[in-house]
Amino acid sequence: MMPNTGPITLVSGAASGIGRHMAIALAGAGHRLMLTDIDSAGLNRLAAEQVWQDRSDIMLHALDVRSREGWDALMALTLERFGGLDLMLNVAGYLRSGYIAELEVDAIDRQIDINVKGVMYATRVGARQMVKQGHGHILNVASIAAISHVPGLSIYCASKHAVRGFTLSIAHELNKHGVQVTVFCPDAVETPMLVEQEAHPEAAMTFGAGRALTLQEVERALLHAIKTQPLELLLDVPLSGRAIGAKLANMFPRLTALAVNHILRQGKRVQALRSKTP
């Protein structure tokens, strides 16, 4: 087999959801991959996929994104194996819905540590290598919740606002070094994380679009972003208008109060239907 010369790509959160789907898609597109997740069993299941057969240019390595030392070690391993880094796709995330007066402190810490500090630690090591190289692309996955505000998901919303603000800020730092940065803000996506929210009334706004984005829709958007390297990419359910609504709510926060009850009713109906589906 001829050695692969595709882009060297690191994907976090690769054991499930968007990360897993993109790992398989990028492998099919010829990327050389370093795939990481805290879920070792999930990585082992991923390793069994047919797409990996006869591929020596794909590595899987367990990592807790909250570990600064872990990220340093992973980057060293990536450089040792591949010699560089062309694309970093930071997908790993955690969601725990809940009203702030009832939320335990651990739910706050985990969401901030994983969603914010995990992305920052990853971006730091990726940026250092890419600045040395004079090229690269960092793509951080935020959420449509990074643009608006979502009652019932206040900590998750705050964490994704932080990811968006951080990513947009570093874009100006890194551009002069030839490093491109993208923040991806999708609506709710059909993943195990979303399924876990079906039984939580406080997460009703997540389901307000009527349906979730499919992984195939996310894949198309991300593959396009990898090619075009936009600063920001929003993706909502077609015809839902949620991205426009989120932008308006961000500009005029009081607008949320006018729409929130309608969105909550719609979301609760969808939750009820989903919970009845075998």
Give the position of tokens 């694309």: 87
Question: Which candidate, 147, 27, 15, 12, places its Cα nearest to that of 78?
Answer: 12
Token look-up 């968006």 returns 164
Nearest to 239 by CA among 217, 219, 254: 217
* Residue 99 annotated in active site: no
Q: Contact, 126 vs 10, CB < 8 A?
A: yes
The domains found in the chain, sorted by start residue, are 8-198+211-240 (3.40.50.720)
* Cα gap 32→255, rounded to integer Å: 45
In angstroms, rounded to a whole number, what is the distance separating the alpha carbons of residues 74 and 59?
Answer: 11
The pLDDT of residue 277? 65
Per-residue pLDDT tens, the chain, 278 aa: give them: 445 789 999 999 999 999 999 999 999 999 999 999 999 999 999 988 877 777 889 999 999 999 999 999 999 999 999 999 999 999 999 999 999 999 999 999 999 999 999 999 999 999 999 999 999 999 999 999 999 889 999 999 999 999 999 999 999 999 999 999 999 999 999 999 999 999 999 999 899 888 999 999 999 999 999 999 999 999 999 878 888 888 888 888 877 777 787 888 888 998 898 987 65
pLDDT value of position 3: 57
As a whole number of angstroms, the distance between CA 250 and CA 252 comes to: 6
Candidate list 94, 99, 121, 156, residue with the active-site label: 156
Which pair of structure tokens corresponds to residue 187? 């609506």
Expressed in angstroms, the distance from the first to the final Cα of the chain is 44
Query: 63 and 70 in contact (C-beta within 8 Å)?
Result: yes
Residue type for 85, please? L
